């Protein structure tokens, strides 16, 4: 995936792409993947890095959504369970089967969760990941050694998937690139181009690194910008009403020892009526999440102290060792798009987690809502609108069984797993250049080779791209990420042919962002 080569393709002014996708998060990637699977030509532009938005800030679950089942949204859960199964099959290097335990304190809870999760198992059909079952108090304590014993009667175990969200986004982006898609990060849409009838015929974009503008012609333009969807809708129609109200969810990352073991804890009802997860992830523990209305859509939202207190207090009610702010290795926040209140009302309504595809009069096609797990189906449903927009027929979707870049059923262990089959190539680079085996940080296994690899193959342009999304250290241990930045900047500068000034600026920029992931 080479950015310079991809930019060159934008210079062919006679070229009309079938679909131009705005946004390189889960939704936009799903659209690109599905369109390419039908033989359509695709250009995708992302104003920051792939998955810089909500798509790198999830709870990291590939799930049907036990919560939505409790709310009676059966169709949504059925669809998500099917997509969960597909995702685990198509990306075994970036996903795995994760057991969850719900602690049980009353007979009624035992009955309710045992029955509910049996239904969940049954709905997954042959794509089921494992049987749910009640386990004794002794087994619960042996699997979650750091959970409080008071009043505990046992647990209900069930299975869902877990994944590395940002690396999955990259793996899909590279897959799309290999299928002929033109994938570009740091390329922002500034305007929509229309013909005399008011129909959209393309987009105007700016390469934010090379500081150059391009006009891209496209038969269909897809707005897949998540919480930023209103900004694109307003480019289409300047007086378009506000349709989205961001709601924030935060996660705290702790040492894995706060739970012990390899099982995840699921607390089905917190004091604010939500679900709280504590999930082992890449040798740490991810705890979250919250639901807090925010005024603005931001690329780098920040956790509020009341959210931090809520997560710490809720976790402390279940954990033997009370987690404090000093134990938080990283804090990250993401924004979900809620439906904004209608004029005159103050109530916000959560857009059903099932996605929505809307075609505006101009032909602009917006995809909103949904979740990471269903990204492919969201793409399929969006591309189905191609005929409505252009009047041309298209081939049926063939995206359900595509293996994503790095696919292997026998991934290596530890941090190499996320590279899948590419791990062997990176290790070969180390064999040929022994200095590449140098570690970026004495406490973590990441090597210099991975920085070179990410610049050459994964379109890493900034230090943050490397430390937040190619390897996930910013989300796992923000202070360690800051310590790694100078070395990473130096290697990246060498590969990107940048000078000392670039290195200094790159480190300063990264520290500014990374400091937001540290609790003061």
Ligand X SMILES: Cc1cc2nc3c(=O)[nH]c(=O)nc-3n(C[C@H](O)[C@H](O)[C@H](O)COP(=O)(O)OP(=O)(O)OC[C@H]3O[C@@H](n4cnc5c(N)ncnc54)[C@H](O)[C@@H]3O)c2cc1C
**Hey, which bits of 145-275 come out as E strands?**
154-163, 182-184, 187-194, 200-207, 212-223, 244-255, 264-267
115-134 footprint of ligand X as x/- string (CB under 6 A): --------------------
Beta bridge partners of 333: 250
457 binds ligand X (CB under 6 A): no
Minimum distance, C-beta of residue 208 to ligand X, in the bound complex (Å): 10
DSSP tally for the chain: helices H, then strands E: 17, 20
Specify the residue, 154 or 334, whose C-beta has the smaller distance to ligand X: 334
Provide the token pair at 481.
Answer: 């990420």
Q: What is the DSSP letter of 454?
A: H
Cα of 185 vs its chain's centroid, Å: 16
Contact 146, 319 (CB under 8 A): yes
Total number of residues binding ligand X (CB under 6 A)? 36
Of 85, 155, 226, 420, the one binding ligand X (CB under 6 A) is 226
Does position 26 bind ligand X by CB under 6 A?
A: yes
- Residues in 248-307 at the binding interface with ligand X, rule: CB under 6 A: 249, 289, 299
Q: CA 113, CA 268: separation in Å to the nearest integer?
A: 9
Contact flag: residue 189 with ligand X (CB under 6 A):
yes
Give the residue with the Cβ less far from ligand X, 59 or 90.
59
Give dist(CA 93, CA 411) in Å, integer.
6
**Partners of 251 in the beta sheet?**
288, 332
> Collapsing DSSP states into helix, strand and coil, what is residue 321?
coil
Q: Is 162 in the site for ligand X (CB under 6 A)?
A: no
| 399 interacts with ligand X by CB under 6 A | no
Closest separation in Å from C-beta 6 to ligand X: 14
Give the residue, chosen from 175, 225, 314, 382, that forms a contact with ligand X under the rule CB under 6 A.
225
Q: Which is nearer to ligand X, 447 or 513 (CB)?
A: 513
Q: Which stretch binds ligand X (CB under 6 A): 120-128, 174-182, 222-230, 404-412?
A: 222-230
In this chain, which stretch among 47-55, 89-97, 127-135, 459-467 interacts with ligand X, using CB under 6 A? 47-55
* Measured distance CA(157)–CA(440) in Å, rounded: 38
User: Stretches 41-49, 86-94, 144-152, 440-448: which one binds ligand X (CB under 6 A)?
Assistant: 41-49
Q: Binding segment for ligand X among 40-48, 381-389, 390-398, 488-496 (CB under 6 A)?
A: 40-48
| 3-class state of residue 112 by DSSP | helix
Question: By CB under 6 A, is residue 82 in contact with ligand X?
Answer: no
* Residue closer to ligand X (CB basis): 385 or 441: 385
Q: How far apart are CA 461 and CA 474, in angstroms?
A: 16
Give the pairing type, strands 95-104 and 264-267.
parallel
Only segment of 21-29, 36-44, 257-265, 504-512 that touches ligand X (CB under 6 A): 21-29
The two tokens of residue 323 are: 């987690």
Which residues, in sequence order, are CB contacts of 452 under 8 Å at separation 6+?
Answer: 429, 436, 491, 495
**What is the Cα–Cα distance from 187 to 14, expressed in whole angstroms?**
20
Candidates 6, 54, 201, 330; binder of ligand X (CB under 6 A) is 54
The residues in 349-388 that bind ligand X, with binding defined as CB under 6 A, are 370-373
Among 37, 59, 98, 382, binds ligand X (CB under 6 A): 59
The stretch near ligand X (CB under 6 A) out of 1-9, 144-152, 328-336, 416-424 is 328-336
Strand partners, 161: 62, 97
CA distance 64 to 85: 10
3-state secondary structure string, 18-75?
Answer: EEEEECCCHHHHHHHHHHHHCCCCEEEECCCCCCCCHHHCCCCEECCCHHHHHCCCHH
- Binds ligand X (CB under 6 A): choice among 27, 175, 177, 457: 27
Q: Is position 472 an interface residue for ligand X (rule: CB under 6 A)?
A: no
Which one of 3, 20, 24, 482 is in contact with ligand X (CB under 6 A)? Answer: 24
In angstroms, what is the minimal distance from the CB of 334 to ligand X?
4
Binding piece for ligand X, criterion CB under 6 A, among 45-53, 147-155, 398-406, 494-502: 45-53
48 near 70, Cβ under 8 Å? no
List residues binding ligand X (CB under 6 A). 22-28, 45-48, 52-55, 58-61, 63, 188-189, 224-226, 228, 249, 289, 299, 334-336, 370-373
């Amino acid at each position: 995936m080479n950015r310079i080569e991809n930019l060159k393709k934008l210079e062919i002014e006679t070229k009309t792409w079938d679909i131009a996708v705005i946004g390189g998060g889960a939704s936009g990637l799903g659209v690109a993947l599905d369109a390419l699977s039908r033989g359509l030509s695709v250009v995708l532009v992302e104003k920051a890095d792939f998955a810089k938005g909500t798509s790198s800030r999830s709870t990291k679950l590939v799930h049907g959504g036990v919560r939505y089942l409790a709310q009676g949204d059966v169709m949504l859960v059925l669809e998500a369970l099917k997509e969960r199964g597909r995702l685990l099959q198509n990306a075994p290097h970036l996903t795995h089967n994760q057991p969850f335990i719900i602690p049980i304190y009353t007979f009624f809870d035992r009955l309710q969760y045992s029955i509910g999760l049996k239904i969940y198992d049954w709905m997954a059909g042959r794509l089921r990941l494992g049987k749910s079952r009640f386990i004794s108090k002794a087994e619960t304590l042996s699997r979650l050694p750091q959970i409080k014993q008071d009043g505990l009667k046992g647990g209900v175990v069930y299975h869902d998937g877990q994944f590395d969200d940002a690396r999955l986004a990259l793996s899909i982006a590279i897959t799309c690139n290999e299928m002929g898609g033109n994938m570009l990060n740091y390329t922002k849409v500034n305007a929509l181009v229309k013909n005399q009838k008011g129909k959209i015929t393309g987009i105007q974009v700016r390469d934010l690194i090379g500081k150059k503008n391009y006009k891209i012609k496209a038969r269909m333009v897809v707005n897949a910008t998540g919480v930023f969807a209103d900004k694109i809708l307003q480019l289409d129609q300047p007086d378009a009403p506000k349709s989205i109200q961001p709601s924030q969810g935060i996660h705290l990352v702790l040492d894995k020892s706060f739970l012990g073991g390899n099982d995840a804890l699921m607390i089905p009802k917190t004091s604010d009526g939500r679900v709280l997860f504590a999930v082992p992830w890449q040798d740490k523990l991810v705890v979250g999440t919250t639901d807090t209305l925010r005024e603005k859509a931001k690329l780098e939202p920040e956790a509020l102290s009341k959210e931090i207190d809520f997560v710490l207090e809720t976790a402390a009610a279940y954990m033997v060792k009370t987690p404090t702010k000093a134990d938080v290795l990283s804090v990250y926040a993401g924004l979900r798009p809620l439906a904004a209140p209608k004029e005159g009302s103050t109530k916000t309504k959560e857009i059903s987690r099932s996605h929505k595809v809307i075609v505006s009069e101009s032909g602009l096609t917006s995809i909103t809502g949904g979740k990471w797990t269903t990204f492919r189906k969201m793409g399929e449903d969006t591309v189905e609108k191609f005929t409505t927009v252009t009047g041309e027929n298209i081939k049926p979707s063939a995206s359900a069984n595509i293996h994503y870049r790095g696919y292997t059923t026998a991934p290596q262990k530890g941090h190499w797993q996320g590279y899948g089959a590419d791990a062997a190539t990176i290790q070969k680079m180390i064999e040929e250049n022994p200095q590449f085996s140098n570690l970026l940080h004495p406490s973590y296994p990441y090597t210099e080779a991975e920085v070179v690899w990410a610049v050459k193959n994964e379109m890493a342009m900034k230090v943050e791209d490397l430390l937040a999304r190619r390897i996930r250290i910013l989300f796992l241990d923000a202070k360690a990420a800051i310590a790694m930045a100078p070395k990473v900047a130096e290697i990246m500068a060498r590969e990107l042919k940048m000078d000392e000034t670039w290195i200094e600026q790159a480190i300063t920029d990264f520290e500014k962002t990374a400091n937001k992931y540290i609790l003061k």
